[in-house]
Every structure is written in C-alpha cells, then in structure tokens.
Amino acid sequence: MRDNFRLTLAQLNPTVGDLTGNAQKARDAWEKGKAAGAQMVALPEMFITGYNCQDLIMKPAFHHAAIETVKSLAADCADGPALAIGAPWLRDGKLFNAYLICQGGTITAQVLKHHLPNETVFDEVRLFESAEMQGPYAVEGVRIGSPICEDSWHEDVAETLEETGAEFLLVPNGSPYYRNKHDVRLGHMVSRVVETGLPLIYLNMVGGQDDQVFDGATFGLNPGGQLAFQMKQFDSEILNVDLERTDEGWRIQPAEVHVHPDEWEQDYRCMVESLRDYCGKTGFGRVLLGMSGGIDSALVATIAVDALGAQNVRCVMLPSEYTSAESLEDAKACAKALGVRYDYVPIAEGRAAITNTLAPLFEGTTPDITEENIQSRLRGLLLMSLSNKFGEMLLTTGNKSEVAVGYATIYGDMAGGYNPIKDLYKTRVFETCRWRNTHHRAWMSGPDGEVIPDRIITKPPSAELREDQKDSDSLPDYPVLDGILTLLVDQEASVADCLAQGYDAADVKRVQHLLYISEYKRFQSAPGARLTKRAFWLDRRYPIVNRWRDG
C-alpha cells in the first residue's frame, strides 16, 4: 500500500480537431511526469479532441479517430506513469464524454460523465449520453474518483465515489471563463470536500476556442476546504503535486497558491488570449482594423497588439468630410504609441462615385441614414479588400452596448472575422482603456505606458457620419443605456423591473425595442470573446422574428 502519490497536472491548451497535436502535448506532459517520478499524469476534460467540439463530436469518423488516437497514446506511454485524459468513448453504440485511464499500454478504465450541462454555451444533452454513476478506479493501489466537470457541481457523484472507496478526487474540466467564475467554482468544490471529507484537485484547461476562453486556475483543496495550491490563470503549466497518506487519510502537500488578478485584468487577459488563439488556431498571423480615432477601435487595436505584436497589426484611417481633425490626430497618435502600421485612405472619392451611381434611383428623396451608412459600408468594402489582398483578418470593433441595440451598420462597420470587445459594455470600455494605460504585464506584446491618448477616452463618442453627430443623439447616455441593458440582457429583467430601478419609461421601451429588432444583425455578426454568462451567441438565443414586447 502506497503512502505517497505524485500527480503531474497538465494545465494545457488543446486545439479542437487537432488529434495529433493534442496527443503530442499529452505525450510531452507524460514524459515530464515520468521524469519527475509521478504515478499518474492528468490532462483535462475532452483534451484529445479539444473542447467545446459542438456537433463535430457526433461525426462518427471524428470520434472513432479520437478514440483510436488515445489507444495509440496509451501504447506509447506504456512504460511509466498512468495517463488520464479526457476523450469521447463508445459503449453499446452510445457516445459518452469520458475520462480514460491508460496504464501498461492499454486503456484500463473509462469514467463516463453522468450530469450533462445543457445551459449557456453547453449542449451536452444533444451530444452525449448520460452514464450511470460509477465507483473509483485504481492507480498503483490508490483509489481515485474523477467526477467530470459538471459532475462535480452536484453532490451525488462525489458522494457515490466516497461511498465506494475513493481516497481522493481528481476533477478534469473544460470550464470556460466568465467574470468572477473562479469564485463560483471554488464554492462548489469546497462543498464537495466538506460533504465527502476527501481531498479534491480541480484540473482545468487553458486557451481560446471561438468565443470561449478556458482560464486554467487549477487548484487543490484538503478536507475542511483549505486551499493547498493554486495555479496561474490562462497560462499553460505543468505542476507536480504530492499527496501523502496520513492517519486521517490522504492529504495534498502544500505548494504555491497563485493569487489571481482583479476582474479588470482577468477580462483584459481573456480578450487578449481569445484573439491570440483565434488567430493562431485558424492560421491568421496578421490582422487589420479601421482606426476611427474613437475609443472602441483604439481598444481593439491595443488588444490586437498585445495579442499578436505590433508588427502583425495594421490600422487604417478612412476619413470622410465628417471626420474631425481631432479624430485624425487621435487615431494617428494611438497608432504611433502602439507602433503599428498606419494607413490613411480617404473615402470621399469613392463615396461620391457611389452617390452619383445611386442618384437616379434616389431622386426626389430626402437624405437620411441611408447616405450615412454608405460611408460605413464603403469602409467595410475597402477594409475587406485589404484583408483579401494581404491575408490579414479584419477585426470589427463594436462594443456590447452597440451590438445590443444595433448601433452599427450591417455589411459596414460590422464586417470582420472577430470582435474582441463584443461582450464589453461601453462603460467598461472606458474603464478598460484607463486600466491598460496604467498597467503592463509580461503576457502583453504591446508597449508599456499610455497607449490610448487621454482625449480618446474623454471626448464624447461619435460615429461621425454627419455634421456634429454624437452617440447621445440616438441613444441614452451610456451609463443609462448600459444600466438598462444589464437588466434586460444579463438579468432577463422585465420593463417593470427597470422602472423600479428608476429608469425612465421612454428610455426603457426604446432600448427594449432596439434590442429585439437588432437580433438579425447579431445573427450575422462576428464572434467575439465571452466575458459574461450572457454573451450574445450561445448564451442568449432569441428568435429573429419576434413580435412580443414587454408592456
């Protein structure tokens, strides 16, 4: 009977569909665990396929290939520690989310997920079968229980494992970030430890996948809920954790408890990692964006530089006659501070050509938003042309407030492949810019210091599509707008709830109206980093055709 157990935790970044690459990462981690004298090397949930695979996992050719990859990996890792890795598994013709334990060249145990999440970004009821609850598996005589991700958020699986002889719990996860989620995870895991009296190790992956970012933050808890160790957020890392048998049972030996940064830094890091991995995993090495001199494009440019380096970012100013001298100066100053390529492409000539082309059809009508949107759509055309010619992915720059109420031109400034600030309300855009100007971290590729000129942050926001235009001409002031949207979108509140919070009835009704009629725009919008539990896309799914209104 062993009195000590070394577990190598691989908090790594898989890529969805890259079976060979993910297997190589697992093999490398196993080699490090073997060199460290570990008894087992553990990887996160569904690591071999990457996560979240969505409907790809249901494709027979794919899940069969994933299972065969794990079998080959088991054979390669025969002479050394056990290897535990998340993967799909077939039993009686049914597909399961599994945690596979490889020992001696074969898969010796399959833990199958019982509780399948079916909310927000998860559709596992659609993808997998729910398995019966199981007992623990054994590695070198030590009985280990592995509730897979959602299984650890419910008391029954962990209690069943404790009752059937588990000596400690290892929880593999594919748990994506949202603001303040780590505290939620920690609370659930403390409950499992208190209920079972067993040590618990929570292992999470890192890296971006479409709109989601997995933030790692792996940790261990001893009985009583004491934090034994905590790994960094967002960073790939391999850590050896030692457990020892005591008179009271197994205990995790204390190691470094990494202190996580505040929510402003976490959100910013999430946006940077999201863009970095989206580009890296899709093969885009360079990006471009329209640089208007406003705060949103300045923040997106800064995120892009921090993610990819200034040499891989192009900013393009596309002025019209309504572009102010201040915007021209501010855009150039921001681009210079960031060190990016800055191109100046006036649109007056192109706009005149389009206006003349349309003149016979528009004869007898009054100029309105149609003519304003021509400017935006022409900019989209020019930016997409640059994207096509030079292979640079176009970033779009609409914040969550604008995305919510449709304050953006479809096929114009909404054109692009990714939107880093899609889930960031305008009021948070301002504060995030201030935060970045006063903070710099090693994971940022951009320069230190004030990279977003103060005037960009303090001047009244404007689309500059007509003379003396301000956002407040069309929308409530952003603190009011964001307050109403937080209630309607993030909290699914009613109009009555908004009025009870003191908001003006006309403002609430107008914001609700804009929110619903803009659904078709969001349906066609670029993906973007998920920062909250109510991001637009998988978190909030509303019909495009919808006549219902509240009140």
CATH number at residue 445: 3.40.50.620
Q: Are residues 275 and 250 located together in one domain of the fold?
A: no
Annotated catalytic residue 71: no
Closest CA to 518 of 484, 546, 476: 546
> What is the residue type of 106?
T
Q: Are residues 327 and 440 located together in one domain of the fold?
A: yes
Rounded Cα distance between 324 and 329, Å, is 9
317 in the Ramachandran plot: left (φ > 0), alpha (ψ -120 to 50) or beta? beta
CA-CA-CA-CA torsion sign (195, 199, 205, 206): positive
- HSE, side-chain direction, 13 A CA sphere, residue 481: 26
Q: Are residues 388 and 270 located together in one domain of the fold?
A: yes
Q: Are 136 and 164 in contact (CB under 8 A)?
A: yes
Q: Are 68 and 61 in contact (CB under 8 A)?
A: no
What is the predicted pLDDT for the residue at 391? Answer: 97
Asked whether residue 532 is domain-assigned, the answer is no
Q: Which of 255, 283, 303 is the last residue of a domain?
A: 255
Q: Are residues 36 and 116 located together in one domain of the fold?
A: yes
Partners of 169 in the beta sheet? 145, 200
Kind of pairing, strands 226-230 and 237-246? unpaired
Annotated catalytic residue 113: yes
CA-CA-CA-CA torsion sign (515, 516, 517, 521): positive
Residues 6+ apart with CB under 8 A from 168: 142, 144, 145, 198, 199, 200, 201, 243, 250, 252
Q: Are residues 307 and 251 located together in one domain of the fold?
A: no
The first and second tokens of residue 391, run together, are: 């292979």
The answer to whether the pTM exceeds 0.85 is yes
Q: Are residues 250 and 301 located together in one domain of the fold?
A: no
What is the predicted pLDDT for the residue at 472? Answer: 72
Rounded Cα distance between 134 and 115, Å, is 12
Q: Are residues 330 and 428 located together in one domain of the fold?
A: yes
Question: For residue 414, how far is the Cα from the chain centroid?
Answer: 20
CA-CA-CA-CA torsion sign (543, 497, 486, 464): positive
The first and second tokens of residue 550, run together, are: 């509240």
Asked whether residue 504 is domain-assigned, the answer is no
Asked whether residue 112 is domain-assigned, the answer is yes
From the CB of residue 275, how many other CB atoms can be counted at a distance below 10 Å?
27
Q: Which of 255, 287, 309 is the last residue of a domain?
A: 255
Residues 6+ apart with CB under 8 A from 532: 178, 179, 423, 490, 539
Gyration radius (Cα) of the chain, Å:
26
Q: Where are the beta strands (DSSP E) in 92-189?
A: 94-103, 106-112, 137-139, 142-145, 168-173
Closest CA to 495 of 519, 513, 473: 513
Closest CA to 200 of 251, 159, 150, 156: 251
Task: Assign 365 to helix, strand or coil.
Answer: coil
What is the predicted pLDDT for the residue at 339? Answer: 98
Active-site pick, 25, 53, 113, 124: 113
Q: In the β-sheet with 393-394, what is the strand arrangement from edge to edge?
A: 341-344, 313-317, 287-290, 393-394
Closest CA to 117 of 63, 187, 173, 59: 173
Q: Are 243 and 40 in contact (CB under 8 A)?
A: no
65 in the Ramachandran plot: left (φ > 0), alpha (ψ -120 to 50) or beta? alpha
Asked whether residue 506 is domain-assigned, the answer is no
Asked whether residue 362 is domain-assigned, the answer is yes
Q: At what angle do helices 295-308 and 325-338 cross, to 10 degrees?
A: 10
> What is the residue type of 462?
S
Tens of pLDDT along the chain (551 residues)? 789 999 999 999 999 999 999 999 999 999 999 999 999 999 999 999 999 999 999 999 999 999 999 999 999 999 999 999 999 999 999 999 999 999 999 999 999 999 999 988 999 999 999 999 999 999 999 999 999 999 999 999 999 999 999 999 999 999 999 999 999 999 999 999 999 999 999 999 999 999 999 999 999 999 999 999 999 999 999 999 999 999 999 999 999 999 999 999 999 999 999 999 999 999 999 999 999 999 999 999 999 999 999 999 999 999 998 889 999 999 999 999 999 999 999 999 999 999 999 999 999 999 999 998 999 999 999 999 999 999 999 999 999 999 999 999 999 999 999 999 999 999 999 999 999 999 999 999 999 999 999 999 999 887 767 677 776 777 899 999 999 999 999 999 999 999 999 999 999 999 999 999 999 999 999 999 999 999 999 999 999 999 999 97
Question: For residue 132, how far is the Cα from the chain centroid?
Answer: 31
236 CB-contact burial (10 Å; exposed 0-12 / middle 13-18 / buried 19+) = middle
Q: Are 287 and 326 in contact (CB under 8 A)?
A: no
Asked whether residue 520 is domain-assigned, the answer is no
Asked whether residue 494 is domain-assigned, the answer is no
The CATH number of residue 138's host domain is 3.60.110.10
Q: Are residues 326 and 209 located together in one domain of the fold?
A: no
The first and second tokens of residue 445, run together, are: 């590729």
Rounded Cα distance between 456 and 133, Å, is 56
Q: Are 67 and 87 in contact (CB under 8 A)?
A: yes
What is the predicted pLDDT for the residue at 2? Answer: 86
Q: Are 327 and 292 in contact (CB under 8 A)?
A: yes
Q: Are residues 209 and 65 located together in one domain of the fold?
A: yes
Rounded Cα distance between 386 and 328, Å, is 20
> What is the residue type of 134?
Q
Active-site pick, 53, 77, 102, 149: 149
Rounded Cα distance between 367 and 13, Å, is 52
Asked whether residue 485 is domain-assigned, the answer is no
Q: Are residues 39 and 164 located together in one domain of the fold?
A: yes
Q: Which domain holds residue 37?
A: 4-255
Rounded Cα distance between 420 and 409, Å, is 18
Number of domains in the chain: 2
Rounded Cα distance between 135 and 475, Å, is 57
Q: Which of 409, 437, 470 is the last residue of a domain?
A: 470
Annotated catalytic residue 167: no
What is the predicted pLDDT for the residue at 438? Answer: 97
Kind of pairing, strands 313-317 and 287-290? parallel
Q: Are residues 279 and 209 located together in one domain of the fold?
A: no
Q: Provide DSSP, 383-447.
A: HHHHHHHHTPEEBP---HHHHHHT-S-TTTTT-SSBBTTTT--HHHHHHHHHHHHH---TT--SP
